[in-house]
Structure 1
Amino acid sequence: MFSLVSPRAVRPPNCLARACREARKWRGAESLAPSWERTTNTPTSYGRPPSFARAASSGTIASFKNLSFGHANTNLLENVDFSIEAGSKVTIMGQNGSGKSTIIKLLSKNLYPDEGQCIIGPGQTVACAQQTMPTASRDMTVKEFFTTQLNDESLLDHEIETKMAKALRDVVLEAPGDRIVKSFSGGQQARLLLAAALIQDPTILLMDEPTNNLDADGLYHLQSLIQMTDKTCVVISHDEDFLNAFTDQVLYLDMFSKKVETYWGDYWFVKEEIRKRIKKENAVNAQLKKKAQAKKDQANKFAGKGGGLRKVAKTMRGLAAEIEDQMQDVRREDYTLSEFTVPFSAPSGSPSGKMMRIEQVSAYNRSAKMSEPVDLGRGSRVQVTGPNGVGKTTFLEMIVDRSAPGVMIDDEADIGYYRQDFSNLDFDSTPLQCLEEVSSHRHTNEQIRKTAGRFFLGNRIMRQKVVTLSEGQKGLLSLACLCLQEPSILIMDEPTNHINFRHLPALAYAVNNFKGPVLLVSHDQHFVSSVGVNTTIDMGKVLNGKA
């Protein structure tokens, strides 16, 4: 159905690309719609598509030309070339820290290349839905936040409010203009960030991990938005099913060659093509290595003999070097996190093994008793559920602070907390300093660095400030911190949000094998089912008196 375009291949004509996108809109809308909305065979029956304007024109509207960029004394992109067509749905693939978000920031002009060009076509406008809410925006009201995004002093109050209302409708969120941004849940803030991009009415919409913190309803609306709009969308996400719902072009960023390759097709098709290509390259390398070694063996055989045979040996070594030059760099993009465990520290005050008891839930000045209390002891796996905005993160924070009413925690229990926004990390410190602090002198420098290495935090990264790390690298650092902390209780708030999908089996293994209790918030149902959750607390039902 689709064909691969390598850097040397010919891509399909524009009409084919557009036809593929139209087919995906119809197919995607039907497969995406939940059973209660699947009433007819027309796309419009699956919810109102946002009323977006059509892209200004067809053809290339954005491109990189021989672009290079470095950060923190490290080259991320080297002589990169690619182009993006109007109306296309583009996914950026690559490992944590490879530079995916850097491409987004270059396209949005938040960063500028060291060499080469980032070209945005005439008449094109760009807006970006960021990964996380900027610190400076968290204390703003909703209206102040949107006003800064519009950045147009000529707009009157009623014009701003009209634009706000439309953007909030498109992301299906009720947000009074006088409400403070930080009072919204993580999922609601994700919708605010998307609305902040939409209110600018761009022709090119950039989205960096837009599914983070979204519940099932939010994810459905986001997929519908991308499928049905004629805007050009460029997306980074670790949610493969989400990406496959709309992708028709993939920019594959190889963090070792620092190049970008362009593929055409849906996400699963492209992923399989990349796997085949890597396999073929490695097979070719194996053959060349064998030939090179044969030439070296011949050279060694003739080198010890006199006369003209020494010249033959020299020639053989030259041929071996030429063959080795033909070998392509071995791709390591499929490196995955090895299985690991989080050491458990048993509290001395819990001989029975019970470390926590939850009798009521609380959030946003609301509190309600549960019909049945939940005890957490060794091996307990408890998931806290509820719609975006119900207060799941707030409830977890109160438990960690030991301020949640109706929640009893063993005084000797040490709580390990994986925060979804990583705000428990000191962004002005280095990863090494963060790990040393959480270790509290229980580990040698060698042990700390060995633990860091298991999470791909090498010497260069260990010397950077945390603020310079990608969100995925911050996630890996947080996991390394938990390993050195050796907690009694593990509390995890959306741990899969920023972690590369290749690493999720190792994360699930760690949660499964933690000897203490785990309290978890996650919208990733596959991950939840793989970690053996045995109890669920539905905060929405409890707070509404239904559980």
Structure 2
Amino acid sequence: MTSISCVDATVLYGGTTVLDHVTIGVEQGSRTGVIGPNGVGKSTLLRVLAGELTPETGQVVRRPASAGVLFVPQGREVRAGETAVRYIARRAGVTAVREELETATAALTDGQRGADDLYAEAFDRWLAFGAADFDDRVGPLMTELGIVDPEQPADRLSGGQLGRLALASVLLAQPEILLLDEPTNDLDTDGLHRLETYVTGSPAGIVLVSHDRAFLAATVDRVVELDEFTRTAQEYHGGWDSYVAERAARRAAAVRAQEDYAGEHRKLTETARTKREWARQGEQKALNPRRQPDGDKFRKAAGIAGAQNTGSAATTAQRKLSRLEDSAPPVVREPWRLRLSIAEAPAAGRVALELRDAVISRGAVRLGPLTLTVLGGERIRFTGPNGIGKTTLLNALLGRLDLDEGTRIAAPALVVGEIDQTRGLFTGGRSATDIVCAATALTPTDARTLLAKFRLGGDTALRPADRLTEGERTRAGLAVLQARAVNCVVLDEPTNHLDIEAVEQVEAALAEFGGTVLLVTHDRSLARGIRVDRTVDVAALSHRLYS
């Protein structure tokens, strides 16, 4: 059976330990979810398994050595001049095995030594990755996913459309070991269903990093949690629900062990201290002439012996204390948690936003005429498949997209806080600190203090926004949201690139917020956890949707 094992791997970045002696094995047919806070090394572990990153210690073993391993990263970067179909081929690993086969064929034609073996291996991988019939399979799937032009430039597509291309690359991939980094980002309900069906039915061994609790519950049979303090890996068998229960039980047991240890430590410390003090006082009394007025040497000797016995008891207690400390249980440390709150500005009025007889167009999307009224304090979720126009409708409501026809009305007192799908605020060469200052009017010192609370401290706060990870950009956006008093929150796929604990904090903050909420999300757990007053299904507007 094909397998890949990461054995005792340690990875350092700039002297900082990211992974510490981590061991994980993957076999064909297994389903492993890797979880942990942002920045703990989940993507790094996938890169180590993929062979893209060599650990300082330990090794990665493939059995057989020619096993086909594909790593699909979470980023949606498009290369210059890349079309939709070429984007899919690259991410599915087909482009790489094609190029490998072409190079091996040229070497074989030239009669190079060992070229026959290289060609055989390259040909096997070409077959294993499904390159032989890729062109036959990609067209129908693109049609199913609504990608009408395979040759359209990929850099002109929306986030949702790129999500569908990324999904297509996974559905078409045929490796023996598949490594997926946040595969659910930007997927709609149909895409999530397709991905779940593929993951649960694929013969490949699959390791996936995901924040989507519903997806993890539906797909994995094992969970590997990376610890932010020790940088080690803890393995849990039995799927997501079993992990949640076992982790809670382990933590409760660890807390009890720590409490028992602390109680026994206090008891022995006090016993040793008390016995030492009694011994000291007993010896002083025995040697004090005023305590022995008749000069009875036997009484004096008895007093000294009693003091020595008490001292021996103190020594015994100290030895027990030393043995206890040698077997002390691990310290139960509280993990870092995002503490998000949304400051509320005074209500904007009875009507916050309104579109009247509006016609809206962006690219192939054209909506309208439609009328939509958003009341002050109303909570609306916009649903529909990717590319249907959810973000386009939000942009029109917010005044960022000019209407072809109709009228937009916004309350004069409306103050909007936003997490957009592309995290567009944090782009370019300015630092995160400078962007926060500009968006909130905070001083640089206060901005850095705020960012540190969102785990963006030190040099990270001064790094150009273009060099921030997706998770860092998302947390920076949440920092801006917290720093400004608003009466309308707009969230477009807010959980992309957030860890599970941070997603839960977003849920809690929205539960406390009393202003208007406009939400786009395909995160099923988040959707269940947030109260909404109304759902607007953009796909249901099809009788007013034309192209």
- TM-based fold match above 0.5: yes
Residue among 94, 114, 125 paired with 2:68: 125
- Find out whether 1:265 has 2:238 as its counterpart: yes
Structure 2: how far apart are the matches of 1:527 and 1:466?
27
Residues 138 and 180 in structure 1, CA contact (< 8 A), matched pair in contact too: no
Q: Which residue of 1 aligns with 2:108?
A: none
Q: Which runs of 5+ in 1 are unaligned?
A: 1-56
Residue among 311, 331, 355 paired with 1:358: 355
Alpha-carbon distance, 1:444 to partner: 7.9
**Cα pair distance change 1:430/1:504, threshold 3 Å:** same
Give the aligned residue type for 2:262.
K
Q: As a proportion of its length, which structure holds more helix? A: 2
Structure 1: how far apart are the matches of 2:173 and 2:524?
33
Alpha-carbon distance, 1:140 to partner: 2.3
Residue among 180, 187, 199 paired with 1:226: 199
Residues 256 and 331 in structure 1, CA contact (< 8 A), matched pair in contact too: no
Give the aligned residue type for 1:409.
A
Q: Which residue of 2 aligns with 1:527?
A: 526
Residues 95 and 333 in structure 1, CA contact (< 8 A), matched pair in contact too: no
Alpha-carbon distance, 1:77 to partner: 0.9
Q: Which residue of 2 aligns with 1:439?
A: 440
Alpha-carbon distance, 1:327 to partner: 2.8
Structure 1: how far apart are the matches of 2:229 and 2:212?
23
Q: Which region of structure 1 is more displaced relative to structure 2, 81-90 or 409-418?
A: 409-418
* Aligned-residue RMSD, C-alpha: 3.4
Query: Computing the radius of gyration over CA atoms, which structure comes out larger, 1 or 2?
Result: 2
- Find out whether 1:173 has 2:173 as its counterpart: no
Alpha-carbon distance, 1:128 to partner: 2.1
Q: How does 1:192-203 map to 2 (within 5 A)?
A: 192-197=165-170, 201-203=174-176
Residues 367 and 543 in structure 1, CA contact (< 8 A), matched pair in contact too: no
Q: Which residue of 2 aligns with 1:67?
A: 9
**Cα pair distance change 1:203/1:169, threshold 3 Å:** farther
The size of the alignment, in residue pairs, is: 479
- State the TM-score, normalized to the length of structure 1: 0.77
Residues 141 and 181 in structure 1, CA contact (< 8 A), matched pair in contact too: yes
Alpha-carbon distance, 1:493 to partner: 0.3
Q: How does 1:212-361 map to 2 (within 5 A)?
A: 212-304=185-277, 305-306=279-280, 313=314, 316-317=317-318, 319-332=320-333, 336-338=337-339, 340-346=340-346, 352-359=349-356, 360=358, 361=360
Q: Which residue of 1 aligns with 2:401?
A: 403
Moved over 6 A (4+): 309-312
Alpha-carbon distance, 1:189 to partner: 1.9
Alpha-carbon distance, 1:90 to partner: 1.0
Residues 26 and 206 in structure 2, CA contact (< 8 A), matched pair in contact too: no
Q: Which region of structure 1 is more displaced relative to structure 2, 210-219 or 394-403?
A: 394-403
Alpha-carbon distance, 1:333 to partner: 6.8
Q: Which residue of 1 aligns with 2:58?
A: 116
Q: Which residue of 2 aligns with 1:417?
A: 418
**Cα pair distance change 1:249/1:465, threshold 3 Å:** farther
Residues 344 and 515 in structure 2, CA contact (< 8 A), matched pair in contact too: yes
Structure 1: how far apart are the matches of 2:139 and 2:164?
8
- Find out whether 1:140 has 2:87 as its counterpart: no
Identity of aligned residues (%): 25
SS at match of 1:101: helix
Structure 1: how far apart are the matches of 2:463 and 2:131?
41
Q: Which residue of 2 aligns with 1:84?
A: 26
**Cα pair distance change 1:245/1:377, threshold 3 Å:** closer
Structure 2: how far apart are the matches of 1:526 and 1:457?
26
Alpha-carbon distance, 1:291 to partner: 1.5
Structure 1: how far apart are the matches of 2:440 and 2:394?
23
Alpha-carbon distance, 1:278 to partner: 1.7
Q: Which residue of 1 aligns with 2:134?
A: 163
Q: Which residue of 1 aligns with 2:298?
A: none
SS at match of 1:299: helix
Structure 1: how far apart are the matches of 2:28 and 2:145?
28
SS at match of 1:104: helix
Which string of whole-angstrom CA distances, capped at 9 and with x for unpartnered residues, describes residues 117-153 of structure 1?
223331212112222301x437621133245451334
Structure 2: how far apart are the matches of 1:468 and 1:286?
44
Which string of whole-angstrom CA distances, capped at 9 and with x for unpartnered residues, describes residues 163-195 of structure 1?
145246568424332112233343332232243
- Find out whether 1:382 has 2:371 as its counterpart: no
SS at match of 1:137: coil
Alpha-carbon distance, 1:253 to partner: 1.4
Residues 71 and 179 in structure 2, CA contact (< 8 A), matched pair in contact too: yes
Structure 2: how far apart are the matches of 1:401 and 1:313?
77
Q: How does 1:389-538 map to 2 (within 5 A)?
A: 389-400=387-398, 402-405=400-403, 406=406, 407-410=408-411, 413-426=414-427, 431-441=432-442, 445-446=445-446, 448=447, 451-452=450-451, 454-459=453-458, 462=461, 471-538=470-537
SS at match of 1:387: coil
Alpha-carbon distance, 1:214 to partner: 1.6
**Cα pair distance change 1:310/1:192, threshold 3 Å:** farther
Residues 95 and 255 in structure 1, CA contact (< 8 A), matched pair in contact too: yes
Residues 379 and 533 in structure 2, CA contact (< 8 A), matched pair in contact too: yes
Structure 2: how far apart are the matches of 1:411 and 1:127?
52
Alpha-carbon distance, 1:386 to partner: 1.8
Structure 1: how far apart are the matches of 2:178 and 2:395?
33
Structure 2: how far apart are the matches of 1:74 and 1:462?
18
Residues 383 and 520 in structure 1, CA contact (< 8 A), matched pair in contact too: yes
Residues 251 and 262 in structure 1, CA contact (< 8 A), matched pair in contact too: yes
**Cα pair distance change 1:329/1:517, threshold 3 Å:** same
Structure 1: how far apart are the matches of 2:188 and 2:80?
21
Q: Which runs of 5+ in 2 are unaligned?
A: 106-129, 284-307
- State the TM-score, normalized to the length of structure 2: 0.77
SS at match of 1:78: strand
Q: Which residue of 1 aligns with 2:157?
A: 184
Structure 2: how far apart are the matches of 1:137 and 1:181?
8
SS at match of 1:258: coil
Alpha-carbon distance, 1:72 to partner: 5.0
**Cα pair distance change 1:526/1:199, threshold 3 Å:** closer
SS at match of 1:257: coil
Give the aligned residue type for 1:326.
S
**Cα pair distance change 1:73/1:423, threshold 3 Å:** farther
Which string of whole-angstrom CA distances, capped at 9 and with x for unpartnered residues, describes residues 383-428 of structure 1?
2222112132244345545323143335664432202232321475
